[in-house]
């Protein structure tokens, strides 16, 4: 049977899974704030939250999260076949497929997303550090990388939005000045 799942259902499932796995939008927005505030004085947390939510509307991001979190959960329940079970459960350093799936979701957001992902993957800030399977409870072999991907995408999106906003403001200023000169 050809059953097509509505994107609203996929989005809702993704949001529920994040909550279930202990990740809030605010946790991710905090990473975005850390990444972007050095470049954007006056950056507001609301802008970071909005950007995370917008990235979560993207199918690539939803699908990557669904796949990764599913594998984490199956590993937690001991339901994967060996040797994959042991590899995922212990977050084997040379596995790399967790990063590969997460990285696949950052290409749509350009070079800032890619470089930010690389940075977050190495530095493991905020909730990413807490999720790290080797340091915390439960299996989050995939989730830590996926959160890095989500935060990296939201950071890149925000960086471009901020520039757009600045340019629009400047254009508005120029237009206003022109009009004033014309009137005066």
The contact set with Mg ion (CB under 5 A) reads 98, 141, 144-145
State which residue, 33 or 142, has the beta carbon closest to Mg ion: 142
Q: Least CB distance from residue 67 to Mg ion, whole Å?
A: 13
Give the whole-angstrom CA distance, residue 163 versus residue 177.
21
Q: What angle do CA 107, 121, 164 make, to 5 degrees?
A: 45
Q: Least CB distance from residue 12 to Mg ion, whole Å?
A: 25
Contacts of 78 (CB under 8 A, 6+ apart): 85, 89
Q: Least CB distance from residue 40 to Mg ion, whole Å?
A: 29
State which residue, 65 or 158, has the beta carbon closest to Mg ion: 65
State which residue, 50 or 145, has the beta carbon closest to Mg ion: 145
1, with CB counted inside 10 A (0-12, 13-18, 19+), is exposed
Q: Which residue is nearest to Mg ion (CB)?
A: 98
């Amino acid at each position: 049977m050809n059953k097509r799942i509505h994107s609203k259902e996929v989005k809702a499932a993704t949001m529920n899974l994040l909550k279930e796995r202990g990740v809030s939008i605010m946790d991710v927005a905090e990473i975005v704030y850390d990444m972007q505030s050095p470049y954007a004085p006056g950056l507001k947390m609301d802008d970071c939250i909005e950007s995370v939510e917008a990235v979560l509307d993207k199918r690539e991001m939803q699908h990557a999260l669904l796949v990764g979190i599913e594998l984490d959960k199956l590993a937690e329940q001991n339901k994967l076949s060996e040797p994959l079970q042991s590899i995922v459960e212990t977050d084997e350093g040379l596995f790399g497929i967790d990063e590969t799936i997460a990285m696949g979701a950052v290409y749509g957001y350009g070079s800032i997303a890619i470089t930010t992902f690389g940075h977050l993957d190495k530095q493991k800030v905020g909730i990413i550090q807490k999720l790290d399977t080797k340091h915390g409870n439960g299996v989050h072999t995939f989730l830590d990388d996926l959160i890095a991907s989500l935060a990296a995408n939201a950071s890149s999106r925000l960086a471009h939005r901020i520039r757009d906003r600045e340019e629009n403001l400047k254009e508005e200023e120029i237009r206003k000045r022109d009009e004033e000169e014309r009137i005066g």
